[in-house]
Structure 1
Amino acid sequence: MNKFHGTGVALVTPFNTDGTVDYQGLKKLINHLVDGGIDYLVSLGTTGETATLSKDEKKKVWDFTAEINNGRLPLVAGIGGNDTYVIGDAIKTFENNNYSAVLSVSPYYSKPTQEGIYQHYKYLSELSEMPIMLYNVPGRTGSNMSAETTCRLAHDFKNIIATKEACGNFEQFNAIMRDKPSDFLLISGDDPIALPMISIGAVGVISVIGNALPKQLSDMIRLCLKGDYATALPAHLSLLEITRLMFAEGNPAGVKSVLKTLNICDDVVRLPLVKASAVLTASLTKQLDQLAVFA
């Protein structure tokens, strides 16, 4: 699964001013990421505002993404939720063979026990013909998938190949690295801590800021994976402030503001999300100037 080493990007879903999916904007974004050196693309994760897309819209976005990508990068489909049987059916009936894996978030809102989380993924694993990446993001789901549960799943099901970890707890990351199968992948789900996570064995990041800054981020991640932290550290530090700003008013409002400034797509988001404020947009533009993105 070396195809999932390096920098993955959780794609935003561009929208027109009337709220419909902007496919030309999505095309520009995909080409921007390929040209920027990204290693793989994740279609319809949280950053894609998937919770507000209809079933038909999701299929069209997945198909269009595969068409425009045209085999250039590996693709991952985000298929997750808190209704185990509905998600199982969605994975079982997923028909686009241009995708290499499924990213499935730990069940949100319901706040299951660790055994409930295990049984949820067991059910999905036994249905899926595709490799599955776990996704642990307690800040969104309301519950943490423990290192013990993660490693139990990794050992018990060979098609569970990775975890995107966004719990922010290095004790948990250390425990996963210690107890996981050797070929199971730990992937950072938080841009600001990708460097230290790679230093303990993570194989890369699934990024939000990479939508806007693919070259800056992917160059830094490659340096980390080579063990050249002396060169990577200044690049990492230079991205901290713009990363903080991109999340200051929620995701993906901040990164979509930057994408509009870069003339890649509009900054429209679907309710209940709202656009980045004028004050935040000005701060983000200032950071882009400092990073010489327009040079």
Structure 2
Amino acid sequence: MAKRIQFKAYGGPEVLEYVDFEPPAPGPKDVLVRNKAIGVNFIETYFRSGLYPAPSFPSGLGNEGAGLVEAVGSEVTHVKVGDRVVYGTGPLGAYGDVHLTPAANIAKLPDGISFEQGAAVMLKGLTVQYLFRQTYEIRPEETILFHAAAGGVGSIACQWANALGVKLIGTVSSAEKAAHAKTHGAWEVIDYSKEDVVQRVLELTDGKKVPVVYDGVGKDTWETSLNCLELRGLLVSFGNASGAVTGVNLGVLAQKGSLYVTRPTLGSYANTPEALQAMADEVFEMVASGKVKVDDIQKFALKDAAKAHTELSGRRTVGSIILVP
């Protein structure tokens, strides 16, 4: 028997249960990982609340973890028992002592990267990789806007942009988070609890606005993001931290300057084992080189997953959160 976090109904953190379960045996193309560290990400609150539907009840939770291969299916060839591995693209169920996942979702973890770093950076790092290197490839000296710059994804984005010579303007909700984003490489920071984001962007860009806005907040920042874009600019709406964007009027895009909008997901980029490993290799190279530091990790015991969700939903966290079995 092993332990895991599950939920039987949608709701707040209180629906999360710490229970015994019997790990399934790997199918021909599966890998069973003994977790050493588990990543906690905002997307898990969407599944828990019902914004994203769970496949069935009771449901496991979590998509990201790092550990050792405990068993492999008969057709798995690229990893073996005992290998150090990391995963970040599901399926649900990572919040547990062990996790069964398709071999195609597994990447090898370099020896120089700890399990805690791997679990803290895998999903968030892959997200920044596809945002900055594939959805819209940012260029040196370019000025961009990134919402929630002090969060787990934002902290990595600040460092990655800085390493590429890009001027990242980050939005945050407090002076503490502003300091955190600046420390991690943001060029400028806007505290939206005190400042008008659009006005500050105009001031910081000498009235030009920005060519791209990366928005993981959603409903609360939708209009603001559009208003910060230059002519034919791109809004990359990659998350719903404040709720889903609904009722979109395409005519608004014309009125505000023939704007573009995309709603990307990691699965559309890490859609083959080869693509996943290549993206992961770039993330780990950034960490190994010191360009992206993963040192602001907040740890909770696996049994305290509900507490971790309470802190995350209350926006009282900075950096990355992990669970430790």
TM above 0.5, yes or no, is no
Greater share of residues in helix: 1
Greater share of residues in strand: 2
| Structure having the higher Rg | 2
